[in-house]
Amino acid sequence: MAFEIKKQGKAYDVCIVGSGAGGGMAAKILSEAGLKVALLEAGPKYDPADPEQATQLKWSYDSPRRGASSTRPFGDFDAAYGGWQIDGEPYTKKNGTQFDWFRSRMLGGRTNHWGRISLRFGPRDFKHKSYDGLGDDWPISYEEVAPFYDRVDKMIGVFGTKENLPNEPDGFFLPPPKPRMHELMIKKAGDKLNIPVIPSRLSILTRSVNKDRSPCFYCSQCNRGCTVYGDFSSSSVLVKPAMKSGHVDLYDNAMVREVLTDDTGKATGVAYIDKTDLQEYSVNARVVVLAASACESARLLLNSKSAKHPNGLANSSGVVGKYLHDSTGSSRGGFLPMLMDRKRYNEDGVGGMHVYIPWWLDNKKLDFARGYHIELGGGMHMPTYGYGFGIHTLNGRIPGKDGKTKPAGGYGASLKDDYRRFYGAYIGFAGRGECIAREDNYCEIDPNVVDKFGIPVLRFNYTWSEHEIKQAKHMQDTFEELIHAMGGIPLGTKAGPETNYGLENPGRIIHEVGTTRMGDDPKTSVLNKYNQAHEVKNLFVVDGGAFVSQADKNPTWTILALSMRASEYIIDQLKKQNI
Amino acid sequence: MDRRESLKALALGTLSVGTIISATGCEDKKGESGSKDKAGEMPGYGRTADEVKRDKALMGEPFFTAAEMKTITVLADMIIPKDEHSGSASDAKVPEFIGFIVKDIPDHQLPMRGGLKWLDTQCLKRYNAAFVDCSEQQRKEMLDLIAYPETALPENSQGVAFFNRMRDLTATGFFTSKMGIKDLGYVGNTPNEWDGVPADVLQQYGYSYDEKTLATCLKIEDRGKLMTWD
């Protein structure tokens, strides 16, 4: 058989690459407007309610590895397929630097993994350069995005409380769940230290927002995917209803290789490899929307070279792939002796923390430029692989029921009792902060390496600056202060300069953004303020690539709002026959 | 009512959570391995085809020898013995779990195999017998040399490192088993209505929900009502 590109016969209005937050929202908005949409996803179909795929309400012992992370990187029951390494789909690193890239090839993409933390960016987050002179301002303001945040809140559902904080805008919230015991204790410690501890803002339905989805039943397992769609994932909440419109054709296992263009430089569709038969296909559309994730969309553009676009598509500026930045992350655990021997009750709650700590300080009085928020853990969870590890570092420091301290470690009945006594008395703090976007943190095409589909792969170059390292130090100091203020014992050794204060490898927090950033100047940005490529009017990027700067917040809610905004712009521009 | 049906009813708000919990209280009748997949060989827990393949491959060839498994079993039961609350590590099939996990996480293999050998060598030197062939008193004497990291003699440090790992694997295997989870008193993983910390617990620690929290948090009776903002 001759090697050929097979054309899918149907002509579409819009072809969307990727079904995560950005792609799912675009599919929903565009299909509701009656446009014919082709949605391409590089992985399989997924529905958390499908008994073949469901992991919700399984017990640790249903897994032979008791939920260990040796098959799926976030444990056996995590909904996300894929991970830091995917067989046959490598990426490389440059100049001895580190970057870890989490990919989830499946319907809904990485929205199947995340913690449902749904924070709006604040007014300052869009104009940070004006505030501290670093990075760049966005070409849009909070006020321009706010109406879309409002609609995302109501469409998807997020719980929280109105707090009137200057850079943590309130929204249309569902009522939050009451705090757990350790969360009340953290709040009390926060009050002592002037650190705000407020109800978290998670896209989990404490009350329904529509008839297709049921309210949360408090199993604390959102990361496993919800069988009643009580939380947000793009597959359940956006793609599923979009498919019902009859206007969306889903191409699963479709690994997009290139954006196709005509002689005038306009996008005409995409070429992809069907993973099931390894043949080449193409889909034609009037508009191409990339939502493959910040780095994957940059890769696609860089690999879409033509006579008209020798530098890759939409990349005369050379900015595609640059300004890559992930959130910072550093963490610490603690032990609360007062919670030993605690009364047992069902403390599962929602999937994640009921309270959190938003950024609370003024960076002008600190030695680093940007803030962080703190995510909290603790409580009486279902034990999984790793439960009980390292007890010998703790049980020699805690008096027994008789008030006497015994030697650390041990074995036998008294040790067995320690595990019982310590259950539910651990807490965890994880800081998630803003990294300043820099041109010299980037991904590019590796000149020598291709993946198993023959597609050139990404090569990363990424370093942290002093701002991020000092921020991590501040996190570590804060964690210790909080643990001490609670009367707790910090666990392990405090991370110091030798580990950049526990600062995780870039990529590790899975908030990477910035690779196709928006701006008013086509020389320094890839997209305009409507997520539209400056150079290719019928090409849009609606994933985190469009971000000018990450905030001290998780990116998903902003991806959703901007994708909604861009999709309505597409509808408007098609009507006006501008694209 | 099976669990799927119950969830649906719960979702529709036609049943109270209390009813559902009692209706799904058939947990105890289920075996350790839960439901089976189509092939009927492996536990069904939402695996992809590749993951089923990986599990099957791991289940195949054992890593430990029969003699090693015997030592692991004796050690595991000394670490987690039967008591008035629950059975021993081997009652909860912890040795089988350890036999699997070293294949799943190969970093455990060398330290475990070498550590078992170290232990036997020490016992041969001291008692002229392998660990499992020593008397109960001798085994205890041996463990006392390596079970207390802060007081152990430097010449036994390798044994301490091995025993820390053995203790960790035994505990994690036990407390993630059905028996261990019950012993620990974890009562979740079931449809529930979270309405805050029980009053007696709040009182025990001297806490209460403040007015703002009570005013803003979910009223559990509203749980089934569609949210509107206008």
Q: Is the pLDDT of residue B20 over 60?
A: no
Angle, vertex CA B209, rays to CA B207 and CA B210, nearest 5: 110
Q: Which domain holds residue A255?
A: 1-48+73-157+232-318+443-462+511-579
**Cα separation of A144 and A569, whole Å?**
13
CA-nearest residue to A198 within chain B is: B213
Confidence of residue B34 (pLDDT cuts 50, 70, 90): very low
In a domain, A150, yes or no: yes
**Cα separation of A494 and A477, whole Å?**
9
Closest by alpha carbon to A129, among A119, A120, A121, A139? A139
Q: Give the closest of A57, A72, A380 to B186, CB-based.
A: A380
- Confidence (pLDDT) at A291: 98
Per the CB < 8 A criterion, the answer to whether A332 and A491 are in contact is yes
Residues 6+ positions from A4 with CB-CB distance below 8 Å? A280
Closest by alpha carbon to B175, among B92, B73, B72, B71? B92
In a domain, A436, yes or no: no
Q: What's the CATH code of the domain at A303?
A: 3.50.50.60
In a domain, A285, yes or no: yes
In a domain, A240, yes or no: yes
Q: Strand pairing of A372-378 and A355-356?
A: unpaired
B183 near A CB under 8 A: yes
Residues 6+ positions from A183 with CB-CB distance below 8 Å? A197, A353, A354, A355, A376, A378
**Cα separation of B109 and B118, whole Å?**
14
In a domain, A355, yes or no: no
Taking the CA of residue B187 as centre, how many other CA atoms within 13 Å lie in the half-sphere pointing to its CB? 9
Q: Give one DSSP letter per residue of B37-92, joined into a string.
A: -TTSSSB-SS--HHHHHHHHHHHSS-SS-HHHHHHHHHHHHHHS---SSS--TTTT
Q: For residue range A317-374, what is the model confidence (pLDDT) as tens digits? A: 999 999 999 999 999 999 999 999 999 999 999 999 999 999 999 999 999 999 999 9
- Confidence (pLDDT) at A171: 98
Residues 6+ positions from A246 with CB-CB distance below 8 Å? none
| Chain B residues within an 8 Å CB radius of A182 | none
Q: Give the closest of A76, A207, A228 to B11, CB-based.
A: A228
**Cα separation of A197 and A389, whole Å?**
29
Q: Which residues of A267-286 are buried (b: 16+ CB within 10 A; e: fewer)?
A: bbbbbbbebeeeebbbbbbb
In a domain, A382, yes or no: no
A81 near B CB under 8 A: yes
B101 near A CB under 8 A: yes
DSSP A491: -
Per the CB < 8 A criterion, the answer to whether A513 and A544 are in contact is yes
3-state secondary structure of B101: helix
Within 10 A of B130 (CB to CB), how many other CB atoms are there? Answer: 16
The rounded mean pLDDT for chain B is 87
Backbone angles phi, psi at B3, to 5 degrees: -65, -35
A211 near B CB under 8 A: yes
**Cα separation of A109 and A81, whole Å?**
8
Q: Give the closest of B175, B201, B207 to A419, CB-based.
A: B175
Question: How many contacts, defined by CB atoms under 8 Å, are there between A and B?
Answer: 271
Give the gyration radius of chain A's Cα atoms.
24
**Cα separation of A173 and B152, whole Å?**
56
Per the CB < 8 A criterion, the answer to whether A162 and A170 are in contact is yes
**Domain total of chain A:** 1
Q: Which amino acid belongs to residue A283?
A: V
Inter-helix orientation angle A556-575/A21-32, to 10°: 30
Closest by alpha carbon to B185, among A218, A381, A384, A412? A381
Taking the CA of residue A394 as centre, how many other CA atoms within 13 Å lie in the half-sphere pointing to its CB? 24
A516 near B CB under 8 A: no
**Cα separation of A397 and B126, whole Å?**
32
Backbone angles phi, psi at A435, to 5 degrees: -105, 140
Distances, alpha carbon A323 to alpha carbons A203, A295, A299, A530, A545, in Å: 28, 11, 14, 19, 9
| Chain A residues within an 8 Å CB radius of B79 | 411-412, 415
For residue A49 the two structure tokens come to: 């309610």
CA-nearest residue to A44 within chain B is: B48
Angle, vertex CA A42, rays to CA A40 and CA A44, nearest 5: 100
Q: Do A409 and B181 touch (CB under 8 A)?
A: no
Per the CB < 8 A criterion, the answer to whether B122 and B159 are in contact is yes
In a domain, A388, yes or no: no
For residue A471 the two structure tokens come to: 């921020």
Residues of chain A with pLDDT under 70: 1-3
With a CB-CB cutoff of 8 Å, which residues 21-50 of chain A face chain B?
A: 44
Q: Do A343 and B198 touch (CB under 8 A)?
A: yes
pTM listed for this prediction:
0.94
**Cα separation of A259 and A313, whole Å?**
8
- Token pair 């701002």 is found at A467
Q: Which amino acid belongs to residue A254?
A: A
- Token pair 């070293």 is found at B102
Q: Is the pLDDT of residue B26 over 90?
A: no
- Token pair 């949605």 is found at A39
3-state secondary structure of B217: coil
Residues 6+ positions from A429 with CB-CB distance below 8 Å? A331, A332, A333, A334, A374, A375, A376, A377, A475, A478, A479, A482, A483
B21 near A CB under 8 A: no
ipTM over 0.85: yes
Q: Do A412 and B78 touch (CB under 8 A)?
A: yes
- Confidence (pLDDT) at A6: 82
Per the CB < 8 A criterion, the answer to whether A386 and A67 are in contact is no
- For the residues B142-157, what does the mean pLDDT come to? 98
3-state secondary structure of A38: strand
Q: Do A416 and B190 touch (CB under 8 A)?
A: no
- Confidence (pLDDT) at A401: 86
In a domain, A430, yes or no: no
Q: Give the closest of A54, A154, A338 to B46, CB-based.
A: A54
Please report which helix (H) or strand (E) contains residue A255, including its range: strand A254-261
A3 CA to centre of own chain: 38
CA-nearest residue to B229 within chain A is: A172
**Cα separation of A315 and A66, whole Å?**
47
Q: Which residues of B152-172 are buried (b: 16+ CB within 10 A; e: fewer)?
A: beeebeebbbbbbbbbbbbbb
